[in-house]
Amino acid sequence: MKHTVAALVEDRPGVLNRVASLFRRRGFNIDSLAVGTTEEAGISRMTIVVEGAEGIAVQVERQLDKLIDVVAVEDLTNLETVSRELALIKVAARPDQRREILDLIQIFRAQVVDVAPNSLIVQITAAGDTLDALLENLRPYGVREMVRTGVIALTRGARTTAVPHESAEARRFHSESGRRPEGELPFVTE
């Protein structure tokens, strides 16, 4: 079964490494991982989909929470959420097939964002299973390349994942320390 866990993390060097290392070491299977900035500077949100037995989400949540750089964790699996994933799908499409494909993707509220003589790029933003369904329908034409962002999710309603408060000094330290100072020698590239 799939579990969706959201982790709010300090946006500092190494944090992705810490999370990835933990998943590898504990044998948790990552289905998808999406990272991005949040409403608060210095805090990133990771949305992690984990494949595993019933109890695994609890271990994932607690092990993540043990990381000092992880500020808050929440298992979203059984909460009311809006969850979305974006995909770009490059489909082989002869000019005579274009119309058919356009009709098809309209049902999924997807768009064509690039057209070439023998291919198109379809963009879709949807819940994971809708995206899978579109993909199945496009396969007969030939899917030449595809990229998915991984699921992101927020709980419905006013409720948010609680982030504890921190003093300004601590905030400065946690958001700045460990970074390379400005103006360092760049790597020579040629």
Q: Which of 165, 23, 96 is nearest to 3 (CA)?
A: 23
DSSP secondary structure letter of residue 89? E
Q: 68 or 115: whose CB is closer to other proteins?
A: 68
Count residues binding other proteins (CB under 8 A): 40
Q: What is the residue-wise DSSP string for 99-115?
A: HHHHHHHHHTT-EEEEE
Q: Which of 58, 107, 113, 147 contacts other proteins by CB under 8 A? A: 58
Q: 129 or 169: whose CB is closer to other proteins?
A: 169
Q: Does 69 bind other proteins (CB under 8 A)?
A: yes
Query: In angstroms, rounded to a whole number, what is the distance separating the alpha carbons of residues 32 and 150?
Result: 5
Q: Does 31 bind other proteins (CB under 8 A)?
A: no
Q: Does 174 bind other proteins (CB under 8 A)?
A: yes
Q: Does 164 bind other proteins (CB under 8 A)?
A: yes
Query: In angstroms, rounded to a whole number, what is the distance separating the alpha carbons of residues 44 and 115?
Result: 34
Q: Does 115 bind other proteins (CB under 8 A)?
A: no
Q: Which residues pair with 92 in a beta bridge?
A: 119
In the range 72-101, which residues lie near other proteins by CB under 8 A?
72
What is residue 61's three-state secondary structure?
helix
Our measurement of the distance from residue 48's CA atom to the centroid of its chain's CA atoms, rounded to an integer in Å, reads 7
Q: Which of 103, 129, 181, 189 contacts other proteins by CB under 8 A? A: 181
In the range 123-162, which residues lie near other proteins by CB under 8 A?
none
Q: What is the CA radius of gyration of the chain?
A: 20
Piece in contact with other proteins (CB under 8 A), picked from 93-101, 121-129, 137-145, 164-172: 164-172
DSSP secondary structure letter of residue 28? P
Q: Which residue has the tokens 């770009």?
A: 88
User: What is the contact surface with other proteins in residues (CB under 8 A)?
Assistant: 9-10, 13-14, 17-18, 21-22, 25, 55, 58-59, 62-63, 65-72, 163-167, 169-170, 173-174, 176-181, 184-185, 187
